[in-house]
Amino acid sequence: MMASDLQMNSEQLRSKPPARCRSPFNSIKFFVLCHGMLQLAQLLVSGYLKSSISTIERRYGFSSQKSGILASFNEVGNTVLIVFVSFFGSRVHRPRFIGGGALVASLAALMMALPHFISGPYEYTVHISQSKDDNSGLCQLESSFQTPLSNHSCTQQESHAQQGVFPLLLLGQLLLGIGGVPIQPFGISYIDDYASKRNSPFYLGILLAVTSIGPAFGFMMGSFMLSFYVDIDKMSKDEIGLERGDPRWVGAWWLGFVVAASFLFLTSLPYLFFPQQMPKEEAAGDAKEPRGEEEKKPLPDPIQELTLTQFLKSFPRIALRTLQNPIYLLVVLAQVHLAAMIAGLATFMAKFIERQFTQTASFSNMMIGGVNIPLAVLGIVLGGALMRRLSISTRGSALMCTSAILMCILTALPLLLLGCSTQRVTGVYPTKQNRSLECSSRCSCPTEAFNPVCGSDGVEFRSPCHAGCLTKVLDDNTSKILKYTDCGCIGVSGSYGYALPGTCGSDCKHLLLPFMVLSALTCFIASFSQTPSYMMILRTVRPEDKSFAVGVQYMLFRVLAFLPAPVLYGTAIDTTCIIWGKKCGRNTSCHYYNMDLFRQRFLGLQAFFVTGAFVCFLLSLLVLKHRAGKQGQQAGQGYTMIDREQSPDKNTASKELQSMAA
């Protein structure tokens, strides 16, 4: 009896996993949960920056070109280091590298918010006092206007707000890119190594979904944060003299970076406790392999057999060999065109909506994060489901991509017509005048003045002074300015008119709904091509070159799309500026754009990139069709040229890599 009890206890001890294995840090499911949260936090920062880029531009007087450089600068550090991810692979402690990268990204997000704390309060031009006795900013006929900023304050402002802010933001973006290098590649490879074959696709699908919705959360958070005034931590609500609709309004752009940095820090901590290797997950539905295959050891990854020197020597040659595959090259170029379009639109679409349709930055970001991005995610999911449902071939994938982009062109071109010209601004548009108007020539208005008012005749002026307004009417309860009166430049029925604070705005508000419908439809249709285009790449390169092919693909994305596209879009926007802001004798952000040129050049670049993607996909379809016809005689042999390209095994690939690196 005792012997049977001892045997039963020993069997229970053997079947019971040790305490270390019962730890959540030895569970791949817990790793997937942590990694999903980390990727959400990482992409939250990226999406939030793009949502607040126009606000940062207004706050510190950047041009759109500078904003584009800032938006793309995180790709610099990422591009330089991403090459080494393929080499290190499983040689390093991947969870700790991921956690370390996340801590660096958290520090970078805090650094992005730092300019707000080291610079003084936001001082918009021509601040008009809410005191009845103070007439500064109005037309003062009896005394000359005294510039509110002295030379000393200009020098101080220039040193703190201009010289140091942009380099600090660039450094934060650089560190953000460096910190993000190990997160996605190491996380995906770690999950693939220790998840069961049945669950691995499901886990990776979760990460793909998080990757897609992360930027949407960033834009939605931007919509919320930008509804608060930038100096909400430095002044009370009663001291804020601007409304959200005022073109000089600057939201609390820095607050989102603080929240995102805290989120990144918290999600990085669990990675310090995950092991370098964990037990392989066993799923109940996994089919057991035959004994002969079970004992067969998996072939080693040829990359892991190379030294760092051999890897660096062989990488350019294999990259060149991969690019000589015409299908791969054409598909990657098509994806580069689409990536460039997405990078530019994500950076400046909110600004376009804000300017063209006279909306707030908060509302514009809500439209992008709540409409465009979710529909793009839905298009990616439906494209993948359609591929799986119909078991589409490589040639069918090319046809699907070509058809989707052709429909995308048909929905993108009408966007060029949905808009209207810049509102009438006296002395600015449609006729620009460098000299003062006769009606306000005696007012001594400062050239730097920017406090738009809308005259009772429907014409906009740059400031109450430029409109010749002598007095103001205040609200008795809130002391806010209701209107400016006795305006010499606004004549209504032979008497002086009045002006209301704020811009007159464009006449295009009614076109916002059709614009958003067509824009969202374009995103939805274009995203259909993502899954089939990736499948074309994986099916047309040699198996041993797949990791290289994907690495080269992402490098080309960064070098040809994510780095230059925001700068290109920003430069194109700057060429449409009519009047630049001035502060302390230096140009700041643009006050007025030629909206016809803005729309044509901004959306024209979108049409250009979509057309380029269509041409590349169409050429890939023609090449596949030509190849299929050429291979028609060999169809009975059961293989094609694509199959032959995939024939070498990993042992052959390893020998080839080492011989190329020798």
Kindly tell me the number of DSSP H helices and DSSP E strands found in the chain: 24, 7
Average pLDDT over residues 204-216: 78
Query: How many Å apart are CA 551 and CA 570, to the nearest integer?
Result: 28
Distance, CA of 554 to CA of 564 (rounded, Å): 14
- Nearest to residue 86, comparing CAs of 303, 391, 286? 303
- The maximal CA–CA distance of the chain, rounded, in angstroms, is 117
Neighbours of 471 (CB within 10 A): 15
Percent of the chain whose pLDDT exceeds 70: 77
Residue with the larger pLDDT of the pair 322 and 608: 608
Alpha-carbon distance of 94 to 72, in angstroms, equals 27
**To which H or E segment does residue 474 belong?**
strand 469-474
What is the CATH class of 317-417+516-640?
mainly alpha
Tell me which of 111-120, 309-318, 350-359, 586-595 is least confident: 309-318
Average pLDDT estimate for 542-561: 76
pLDDT-based confidence at 581, cuts 50/70/90?
confident
Q: State the average pLDDT for the chain.
A: 78
Angle (CA) 585 590 593, round 5°: 140
Distance, CA of 517 to chain centre: 21
In the structure, what pLDDT confidence band is assigned to residue 230 with cuts at 50, 70 and 90? Answer: confident
Strand (E) or helix (H) holding 488: strand 481-492
Task: Please say if the pLDDT value at position 19 is more than 70.
Answer: no
What crossing angle do the helices spanning 64-72 and 326-356 adopt, rounded to 10°? Answer: 130
Distance, in Å, from the CA atom of 160 to the CA atom of 115, rounded to the nearest integer, reads: 9
Report yes or no: 39 and 187 within 8 Å, Cβ to Cβ. yes
Q: What is the pLDDT of residue 265?
A: 94
Examine the pLDDT at 652 and tell me if it is beyond 70: no
The mean pLDDT value for 535-561 works out to: 76
What is the pLDDT at residue 360? 86
- Tell me the average pLDDT across 552-562: 84
- Per mean pLDDT, which range of 147-151, 229-233, 465-469 is the poorest? 147-151
Determine contact, residues 130/481, Cβ cutoff 8 Å: yes
pLDDT number for residue 171: 92
Using alpha carbons, select from 51, 45, 650 the residue that is nearest to residue 346: 51
Which tokens go with 459? 């014409």
CB–CB of 83/555 below 8 Å? yes
| The two three-digit tokens of residue 104, written as one number | 């660096």
Give this prediction's pTM.
Answer: 0.82
- Are the CB atoms for 75 and 566 separated by under 8 Å? no
Cα three-residue angle 535-537-541, rounded to 5 degrees: 125
pLDDT surpasses 60 at 489? yes
Q: Give the model's pLDDT for residue 28.
A: 84
Main-chain dihedrals φ then ψ at residue 520, nearest 5 degrees: -65, -40
pLDDT of residue 643: 44
Return phi, psi of residue 473, to 5°: -115, 125
Q: What is the pLDDT of residue 650?
A: 47
Q: What 8-state DSSP symbol labels residue 614? A: H
Q: What is the separation of C-alpha 332 from the centre of its chain, rounded to a whole number of angstroms?
A: 20
Q: Taking residues 498-502, what's their average pLDDT?
A: 87
Fold match flag (23-124+160-280 vs 317-417+516-640): yes
Domain boundaries along the sequence of the chain:
23-124+160-280, 317-417+516-640, 424-504
Per-residue pLDDT reduced to its tens digit, 2-11: 455 545 454 4
Given this model, what pLDDT does residue 647 score?
A: 43
> What is the structure's pLDDT at 158?
52
Bridge partners (DSSP) listed for residue 229:
251
What is the tens place of the pLDDT at every residue in 161-181? 567 888 999 999 999 988 888
Which residues, other chains included, contact 348 with Cβ-Cβ below 8 Å and sequence gap of 6+? 53, 54, 64, 67, 68, 566, 569, 570, 573, 602
When pLDDT is cut at 50, 70 and 90, the band that residue 266 belongs to is very high
Contact call for residues 26 and 270 (beta carbons, < 8 A): no
196, 206, 207, 278, 550 from 29: Cα distances, Å: 11, 11, 12, 12, 26
Q: How many CB atoms are closer than 10 A to CB 446?
A: 19
- What pLDDT shows up at residue 20? 45
Write the CB contacts of 653 (distance below 8 Å, at least 6 apart in sequence): 302, 542, 543, 544, 545
410-443 confidence digits (pLDDT tens): 999 999 988 888 888 888 887 776 666 777 777 8
Higher pLDDT, 82 or 418: 418
**Tokens standing for residue 204:** 């990776």
Give bridge partners of residue 497 from the DSSP assignment. Answer: 487
Q: Which CATH class, in words, describes the domain spanning 23-124+160-280?
A: mainly alpha
Torsion, Cα of 476, 477, 479, 485 (10° steps): -40
Q: How confident is the model at residue 633 (pLDDT cuts 50, 70, 90)?
A: low
Q: Is 636 buried (19+), middle (13-18) or exposed (0-12) by CB count in 10 A?
A: exposed
Task: Evaluate the CA torsion angle 393, 395, 400, 405 in order and state its sign.
Answer: positive
pLDDT confidence band for 646 (50 / 70 / 90):
very low
pLDDT in tens, 92-151: 788 888 899 999 999 999 999 998 888 878 877 655 555 554 566 788 775 544 444 344
For residue 261, what pLDDT band results from cuts at 50, 70 and 90? very high
Predicted pLDDT at 648: 46
Residue 294: its pLDDT value, please?
Answer: 42
The residue ranking higher by pLDDT, 501 or 534, is 501
Question: Which of 321, 368, 401, 315 shows the shortest CA–CA distance to 613?
Answer: 401
In this prediction, residues 347-371 reach a mean pLDDT of: 89
| Per-residue pLDDT at 610 | 92
Q: What is the mean pLDDT of residues 219-234?
A: 88
Contact 56, 50 (CB under 8 A): no
Identity of the amino acid at 170: L
pLDDT for the residue 306 = 60
3-state secondary structure of 16: coil
- What pLDDT does residue 16 have? 46
For residues 584 and 154, the answer to whether their CB atoms sit within 8 Å is yes
The SS3 of residue 582 is strand
